[in-house]
Structure 1
Amino acid sequence: MTEVKVATLNLFNKVGRWGERMPLVVDQFVELAPDVIGLQEVDLTIDQGMALCRAVNSRVGESPRYWIYHMTRPGRAAHFLANAFMSRLPAEAHEGLDYLTFESVAHRLRVKLPDGKLLDCYNTHLHYPPEAVEERLAQAKKLRVWVDTWKGANAVVVSGDFNAYPGEPTLDLMKEKFVSAHEAANGREPEKTWPTPVNTYDPSPPGTLDYIFVDGAKVKSASLAFDKPHPLDADLFPSDHLGLVAVLEVG
């Protein structure tokens, strides 16, 4: 069995005091030390992903360094709502899926584990408004079909900001094939992954919107991540979302 640590975090691009948030993200990233992480809302106008990758790599010492793989949206949101993977495992393939609705995309990174096994990681950010239940479901159906077209991996992880509250059909669809890592490890989903006090303008109800779904691997542990506020400012978190992390065993 090979152990691998995967994570997800919506960065909230550069809004919400990013200059103050970035050190928190870097500190907690280095402490977490994921093998692969999927990021959403990466701002290309400030080269946010590369800046984060360089900052983390300056702190990892003799550990393997991270590489970053971007996948941006089409249209008007391209510059500030990109997705990205950061991985310290060697990549075998990288490609994207345009949902062709609401400028939303997903992407896949196939990585090779130290023992030669292959892990397919998918990173997505589904359509946002809470009332867009059917729109998210349609995107999730496309995601499921796309995932099923790729063969040859020993295990599959699908993670990201699904913008889907517990009880939505999008989550039912995902759980037909995958297990939710947090639910498998803890018997339930987190109380919430959104919002933190960083988000001061969106009045939508709090809830669990972010997930790590797994197929073909055993979930050893899972928990919230990027969930520690600044020690001197209880309203300053790494993002307006909390992240998730899971330790998996790939047989």
Structure 2
Amino acid sequence: MLLYAALLPAMAWAGTGPGSRAGEATPEFSVVTLNLDHDRDDWPRRRVQIVETLRRLQPDAIALQEVLQHEDLPNQAAWLARELGYESHFVTTDPPSHKRRHGSALLTRDPLLEQGETLLHPLEDHRTAGFARVLVGGHPLNLYFTHLHWAPDGAATRAQQLSDLLAYVDATATGAPSVIAGHFNADVAAPELAALQERWEDAWTALHPTAGVEESSTLNPAYFAVPASVDHVFLERGHLLPLAAKLLFTAPDAEGVWASDHRGLLVRFRFAGPAE
């Protein structure tokens, strides 16, 4: 299945801009989630591959984790947004006065109608969740993005952070369908993500139900010995229907430089019709 997905024409993955969505009764939308791995390794070269790929695919939204800025590094999300012509919404627990700030971000092709963020507990873990609302063919869509606790033995912490995130969704969704994307540091079947099961559908799992661990892994095997699918795009059941999902950055560039220590995940979905 993965090989087949990799051979799909690039135009099948191109984002559907406002013009092409305006007359659709059930408009489509595409979102990428990608862990940037801060500025480790050769970021100036890595970012070239990332920009070229995203510019070709033109996803409607891009969720980024491990976004960094410091004295010698402009905010990575803001830089990518400028290169791609997107809007950027960066969230972090680091105050604006700090020269070094790290967090997550969302890039969107369409203007943001509303945006926000919330802190996730425990506060000493320095985790956040971000929110943005966009208009898709006249339909509001909520986009939530996050990066949960990293430690293998941190299931309880991730469960608490997810609980905070879902409470934030309930407080801000205002009846519009929602997407949750990001780096969860857990497989979709992990107990700490159980709270998602009733209301949310993992797009990759829905479209690739028989895919093995290795072909589903979002961890770059050049960096991680053990495969795992830890980056997800969750769609609200009954409101958003997955159409396609593929992994990005599955090979290095011509010089052998990888885009990141993670693979990206691109998901395309549509709004459910009234009878679905």
Shared fold (TM-score greater than 0.5)? yes
Instruction: Kindly provide the CA deviation profile for residues 73-117 of structure 1, in whole angstroms up to 9, marking residues without a partner as x.
Output: 247x9935311111011211100010132000001011111x210
Give the counterpart of 2:89 among 61, 65, 69: 69
Q: In 2 relative to 1, CA 173–192 (structure 1 residues): closer, same or farther, beyond 3 Å?
A: same
Structure 1 residue 188 displacement after superposition: 4.8
How far did 1:166 drift? 4.8
The residue type paired with residue 27 of structure 1 is E
2:184/2:232 contact within 8 Å kept:
yes
Contact 2:63–2:145 (CA under 8 A) maintained in structure 1: yes
Deviations 1:9-46 (A, max 9, x none): 11111012212211111111112210011111111221
* 1:221 paired residue number: 244
Q: Which residue in 1 is equivalent to 2:150? A: 128
**Secondary structure in 1 aligned to 2:216?**
coil
**SS of the residue aligned with 1:91?**
coil
1:36 aligns with 2:61: yes
Q: Does the 8 Å CA contact 2:35/2:66 hold for their aligned counterparts?
A: yes
Within-5 A mapping of 1:39-58: 39-45=64-70, 46-47=73-74, 48-57=76-85
Question: What number of residue pairs does the alignment pair up?
Answer: 235
Q: Is residue 2:113 matched to residue 1:92?
A: yes
Is the Cα contact below 8 Å between 1:119 and 1:156 reproduced in 2?
yes
Unaligned 5+ runs, structure 1: 58-65
Q: Is contact 2:65-2:103 (8 Å) kept?
A: yes
Q: Does 1:81 align with 2:81?
A: no
> After the TM superposition, which residues 179-194 of structure 1 pair with which residues of structure 2 at under 5 Å, given as runs?
179-188=201-210, 190-194=215-219
Q: TM-score, normalised by structure 2?
A: 0.79
Please, what TM-score do these two structures have when normalized by structure 1? 0.87
Q: How far apart, CA to CA, are the structure 1 residues paired with 2:142 and 2:241?
A: 15
Counterparts of 1:204 and 1:186, CA distance in 2: 23
Unaligned runs of 5+ in 2: 1-25
2:13 is aligned to none
Counterparts of 1:111 and 1:6, CA distance in 2: 13
Report what 2:195 is aligned to: 173
Q: 1:54 to 1:90 in 2, by over 3 A?
A: closer
Instruction: Select the structure of larger CA radius of gyration.
Output: 2
RMSD: 2.0
Q: Deviations over 1:147-201 (max 9, x none)?
A: 112233532100100011354212322222100011112225653111342x4xx
Q: Which residue of 1 is the match for residue 266 of structure 2?
A: 245
Which deviations, in whole Å up to 9, do the C-alpha atoms of 1:121-162 show, x marking residues without a partner?
000000111111111111111111111122335321001000
* Partner residue in 1 for 2:29: 4
